[in-house]
Amino acid sequence: VIAALATSHYIRSQGGLAEMVSTSLSSNGLDIQVQIGDAGFQRNGTQSIDLLLKDIVVNKDDHQITVPEALLRFGWHSLYLFSPEKIIIQSSDIVLYKDNTGLEVQGETGWFANQFKQAFQSPISLAAFPFWLQGVAEFTITGNKLSLFDKASPHLSPSQWSDVSVTITPELMNES
């Protein structure tokens, strides 16, 4: 009980959980600024706890994306290290472009995705990558709609799916 009260007092003294998480995520070594609108913890069974983040704005240089909701899933050990095991990001629409080399995300979301991909692929970048992200085993993006465009056939309508989930693991990121 005393630990819970001390933790609660510390979080309030930092401006609340959303402000504390915003500050922590913005101290990332990648010059990416993160602002969280709301944050809260919720239990996920007996083995993990989720940190639910809402109304997220991410800025780097002249690029900005808005994420309606993200969930960081922690096991008890990863919570102690503040290094989530899993990250789930909610997006309204996911747009992918296919060519002979693979899939690509364009626009602001694509720019940010490329930043993370480069960090996963480069040992030098990974060493400077924020400690809290190094333990992520699974990164998932969910969306109401996925549209897949074929770059070789821009005149064709895209393939579309609804209620989708795309999961990326560090192993997949290294298979470029």
Per-residue pLDDT at 120: 57
Look at the pTM and tell me if it is higher than 0.85.
no
165-168: long-range pairs with CB below 8 Å, 24+ = 165/140, 165/141, 166/94, 166/140, 166/141, 166/142, 167/138, 167/139, 167/140, 168/138, 168/139, 168/140, 168/141
| Residue pLDDT tens, the chain, 176 long | 566 556 665 666 666 788 888 887 777 666 778 899 999 888 887 788 899 999 999 888 888 888 899 998 988 777 777 788 888 888 877 788 888 887 777 666 676 667 666 655 655 444 445 555 667 888 888 888 888 888 888 788 888 989 988 887 766 555 54
